[in-house]
Amino acid sequence: MGVPSLAERSTHQKKAVQILLQQIDKSFGDKTVLKNLNLEIESGEFVVIVGKSGSGKSTLLRLVAGLEEPTSGQITFNDQSIKDSKLSATMMYQDSRLLPWKTVINNVGLGLKGDWKEKAEKTLDLVGLYSFKDQWPSTLSGGQQQRVALARALVHKPSLLLLDEPLSALDALTRMDMQNLIEKLWLNQGFTALLVTHDVREAVKLADRIILIEDGDITLNIKNTVKRPRDFSDVMLAQMEKKI
Ligand code: ADP
Ligand code: MG
């Protein structure tokens, strides 16, 4: 049994989200970061964004999350504005941003009401850290802390998961474990994913589509044709590396 295809997966998906960015400009003062950027993201898609440092990748994620307003242009979710849509987006960063004075379970449960404990426990189980729930974040490894951060993002059952270089501070083996975990959760949970990375292997492993940002715009938009689980050759990786 292989993992389900995107088409199979989307048939039992709960929340539909389609994100449309139209003619987005974003400036800070007189510095233009994004210029007339257009992008469409399908419900359930895994989109990976690559580009040089300072090219505007984090800004793009923050715009999609609604943490930042475009200078001009429109972002819509299923034809509605961010504010009117029921879209929920959660974010994960390079550093875990866990609160050191709260235990693991209290970090994951932050902002939840009602049966928060049960939800937090279930989600910690999903990332393989149930038995660490009463520990302090500082007693966990970097990889484990990122797993907690992933649980904290997923506990809200987001329709969209935004991942801003979440694995770049981890060692190679831990990074591979986390890539497998993210892929498995994406296949099972039905969220749309938007990931920023500098790692070509990671991009090719996870992406349905890889997008390159250069000079404030998308200059490459490549569909990943390799089936899941990805079985890619070094030749393919080398070709991709040249492109991005
Ligand atoms: P990336 O994530 O691709 O490295 P960013 O989106 O973080 O790039 O930043 C793109 C550019 O926008 C950089 O030159 C950065 O200095 C600038 N920038 C980002 N956020 C702000 C801000 N809040 N105020 C001023 N400049 C910003
Ligand atoms: Mg960034």
The model's pLDDT over 172-183, given as tens digits with 9 standing for 90+, comes to 999 999 999 999
C-alpha–C-alpha distance, residues 208 and 162, integer Å: 15
- Closest ligand (CA of 33): 1
What is the pLDDT confidence band of residue 3, given thresholds at 50, 70 and 90?
low
Question: Per-residue pLDDT tens for 104-117?
Answer: 999 999 999 999 99
Tell me the pLDDT tens digit for each residue of 220-229: 999 988 888 8
| CB of 210 closer than 8 Å to CB of 63 | no
Q: How far is CA 33 from the centre of its chain?
A: 21
Quick one: average pLDDT of 127-132?
A: 98
CB of 28 closer than 6 angstroms to any ligand 1 atom:
yes
Report the pLDDT value the prediction gives residue 210, as an integer from 0 to 100. Answer: 96
Residue 61 alpha carbon to ligand 1 centre in Å? 11
Distances, alpha carbon 196 to alpha carbons 92, 150, 179, in Å = 10, 15, 13
Give percent of the chain with pLDDT exceeding 90: 79
Q: 167: CA distance to ligand 2 center in Å? A: 13
Binding site membership of 67 for ligand 1 (Cβ less than 6 Å): no
List the Cα angle 151/188/140 in 5-degree steps: 25
* CB under 5 Å of ion ligand 2: residues: 57-58
Q: What is the dihedral of CA 52, 92, 181, 14, to 10 degrees?
A: -110
* Ligand 1 center to 64 CA (angstroms): 15
Which H helix or E strand runs over 22?
Answer: strand 19-28
CB of 233 sitting under 6 A from ligand 1: no
Predicted TM-score (pTM) of this structure: 0.92
Mean pLDDT for the chain overall:
91
**Ligand 1 atom 25, closest CA:** 28
Instruction: Pick the residue whose CA is nearest to atom 7 on ligand 1.
Output: 58
Per-residue pLDDT of 30-77, as tens digits, reads 999 999 999 999 999 999 999 999 999 999 999 999 999 999 999 999
Q: How far apart are the C-alpha atoms of 69 and 158, rounded to whole Å?
A: 21
Paired tokens of 40: 């469409």
Angle between helix axes 142-154 and 116-126 (nearest 10 degrees) is: 130
